[in-house]
């Protein structure tokens, strides 16, 4: 089934009997396909500015943007624990040819797991924490988030989410946020993000080793993009990311504006920045 929504052609496919929604946009007659994977609680719509930027730049044939489990009309995850391989299978159901892959936050972790399909990766602050091993900051965050979700403690979930990804100073506290903003942070992320962070824990060990091998093989075809305003909790992890990816031969760049969700809060400048890195991967 296909339908059109503004500039997107929206289609559906199935993976393991689960409905998957994905959007695509024709860009040019020639060039590689670009796959764009959104962050937790978002959807393919966060890439609308990127679609325009890529169409204007030329060099790419098509943009494909799946909705991950629980986003849009893609079915929520049910039955057992979700893995990065499950999410990678969703992506492969939407595109099965070598491509350039963009991933934001959890979409970046899924992009890495799809690395064997990638001509290159552009990763905006992926949440694949355990590439760093048993990182204490990341482990503490993930386990506390899981506990909050399992207790259905929405206030604690939101507080942890805010402090890690968004909070900029000691005065920038969860309790002072407007109720509407709190709902906007919590409602789209529960329960789907619970399954996603569980998949990160399950990747520890052999899964992480596979991903590190893929990143090492891609080398400078991996571009890690870091925001100038990361949340307080994420900052120590980002510093270690910077060192790890440089060791793997990846290129590390500082984004021009915004925080962890800059592709959503600052879509046009972030899209232009991402598009420039995709163009450089064509050379």
Place of tokens 């046009």: 268
pLDDT per position in the chain (283 positions), as tens? 444 344 799 999 999 899 999 999 999 989 999 999 999 999 999 999 999 999 999 999 999 999 999 999 999 998 789 999 999 999 999 999 999 999 999 999 999 999 999 999 999 999 999 999 988 899 999 999 999 999 999 999 999 999 999 999 999 999 999 999 999 999 999 888 999 999 999 999 999 999 999 999 999 999 999 999 999 999 999 999 999 999 999 999 999 999 999 999 999 999 999 999 999 999 8
pTM: 0.95
For the chain, list the domains and their CATH numbers. 2-132+205-281 (3.40.50.1820), 136-186 (no CATH)
For CA atoms 112, 115, 118, 121, give the dihedral sign: positive
């Amino acid at each position: 089934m296909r339908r059109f929504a503004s500039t997107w052609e929206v289609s559906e496919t199935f993976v393991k009997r689960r409905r998957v929604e994905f959007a695509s946009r024709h860009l040019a007659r020639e060039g590689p396909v670009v796959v764009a994977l959104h962050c937790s609680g978002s959807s393919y719509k966060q890439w609308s500015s990127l679609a325009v930027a890529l169409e204007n730049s030329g060099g790419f044939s098509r943009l494909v943007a799946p909705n991950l489990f629980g986003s849009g009309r893609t079915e929520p995850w049910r039955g057992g624990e979700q893995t990065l391989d499950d999410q990678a299978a969703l992506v492969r159901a939407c595109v099965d040819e070598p491509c350039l892959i963009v991933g934001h936050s959890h979409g970046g972790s899924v992009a890495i797991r799809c690395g064997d399909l990638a001509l290159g990766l552009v990763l905006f602050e992926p949440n694949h924490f355990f590439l760093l091993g048993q990182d204490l900051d990341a482990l503490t965050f993930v386990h506390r988030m899981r506990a909050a979700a399992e207790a259905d403690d929405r206030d604690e979930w939101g507080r942890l989410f805010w402090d890690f990804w968004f909070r900029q100073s000691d005065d920038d506290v969860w309790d002072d946020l407007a109720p509407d903003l709190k709902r906007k942070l919590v409602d789209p992320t529960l329960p789907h993000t619970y399954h996603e962070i569980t998949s990160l824990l399950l990747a520890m060990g052999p899964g992480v080793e596979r991903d590190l091998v893929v990143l090492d093989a891609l080398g400078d075809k991996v571009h890690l993009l870091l925001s100038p305003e990361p949340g307080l909790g994420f900052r120590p992890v980002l510093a270690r990311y910077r060192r790890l990816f440089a060791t793997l031969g990846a290129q590390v760049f500082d984004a021009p504006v915004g925080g962890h969700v800059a592709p959503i809060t600052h879509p046009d400048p972030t899209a232009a920045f991402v598009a420039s890195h995709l163009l450089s991967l064509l050379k």
